[in-house]
Amino acid sequence: MSERRKTSARRQHARVTISDVAREAGVSPMTVSRVINAEVAVRDATREKVEKAIAELGYSPNKAARSLASARQMQIGLLYANPSSTYLSAMLLGVLERARQSDAQVVVVESGFGKDAVAAVRGMLMSGVDGVLLTPPLTGYRPVLEILHDSGVQTVTLGAQHVESEISTVSIDDHRAAMEMTRHLLDLGHERIGFIVGNNNQLASRLRLAGFREAMRLAGVDVDESLVVRGDFSYRSGLKAADLLLRLEQRPTAIFASNDDMAAAVVATAHRFHIEVPEALTVVGYDDTLLATTIWPELTTIRQPIADMSRAAIELLETNIRIDRAGEPVKARHLTRAYKLVRRESSAPPR
């Protein structure tokens, strides 16, 4: 080979990026990053394809940069403003488990909404975190999302957010899950169904309400707007909503609450009104947190794998940080986890 051709080949290899390797191997850049960093969560066949692509393209990561980057412990900021303690517990379980495995440091910051959230995220950025995990209801709060996007810090949201965003997400299909739960109630024979909406600032709330309305429309059942009441995902808001619904002259035969905290509050209110659940009132929830099986009767609910989603969100965030440290472009990914309708003792046909 002539000296000119050798020089050209070296230049060609120097231009090879992690994205080129991903295209050659037919995988994502994140998978290539996992192989390069010797992570265990890669199938052998996939690892072999990536290693073959690296060899054929002559890709050579900057070892000095990788060494310096890997030597520095990742610091991840977790910002939350969720009133549900059961959701928070499940979420933290997954986050801390994954962080312990990867030796990442997690800084947990609680905030309110509005200006408080903006101040909290700015303070987090000033502290020098490598990445941020946003949890509901902040996942749909545009001012915070815009600050994080403009800052360039790697960010992942846990739960639904605007999918056109350039920020990665891990969520379930809230619209489809709410439709399935509503169909379950309709199949039992309920038509007069109450619905308790969650935090209006949260996209998941709107998706669940839309799923409820869509299932009712497809079944040819009109939604009585007096049975759609506002909550904010807290137990206390569930108490207020249930009180409104159960005082109606024509009360619903079933109530679908947008999370388990509010559903548990409905059950408690029904007990106070001497209304038997599920004999005289069906109550269903959403999330399948620990609360769903610690009340009586146990809740029929949508199982959202919160701990698993949290682990996946931290892993995705760590991978994005590594890609960013290597000087490669990071593309947003929107991962969807499976949900499950869990039938328990709180739902039954109407009398």
**Domains in the chain: ranges and CATH:** 3-61 (1.10.260.40), 73-172+306-338 (3.40.50.2300), 174-304 (3.40.50.2300)
CA distances from 161 to 69, 171, 178, 199, 242 (A): 30, 9, 16, 13, 28
- Tell me what the mean pLDDT of segment 256-267 comes to: 97
| Confidence band of 12 (pLDDT split at 50, 70, 90) | very low
For the ranges 3-12, 293-302, 319-328, 330-339, the one whose mean pLDDT is highest: 293-302
Q: What is the pLDDT of residue 41?
A: 54
Q: How far, in Å, CA of 130 to CA of 105, rounded?
A: 10
| Confidence band of 121 (pLDDT split at 50, 70, 90) | very high
Q: What is the mean pLDDT of the chain?
A: 87
Closest by CA position to 77, among listed 307, 311, 306, 314:
314
pLDDT, one tens digit per residue, over 214-246 is: 999 999 999 999 999 999 999 999 999 999 999
Strand partners, 229: 196
| Confidence band of 167 (pLDDT split at 50, 70, 90) | confident
- Tell me what the mean pLDDT of segment 175-191 comes to: 98
Q: What is the pLDDT of residue 7?
A: 41
Q: CA angle at residue 148 from 91 to 173, to 5 degrees?
A: 45
Cβ atoms 337, 172 nearer than 8 A: yes
pLDDT, one tens digit per residue, over 86-112 is: 888 889 999 999 998 888 999 999 888
DSSP letters along 74-124, please? Answer: PEEEEEE----HHHHHHHHHHHHHHHHHHT-EEEEEE--STHHHHHHHHHH
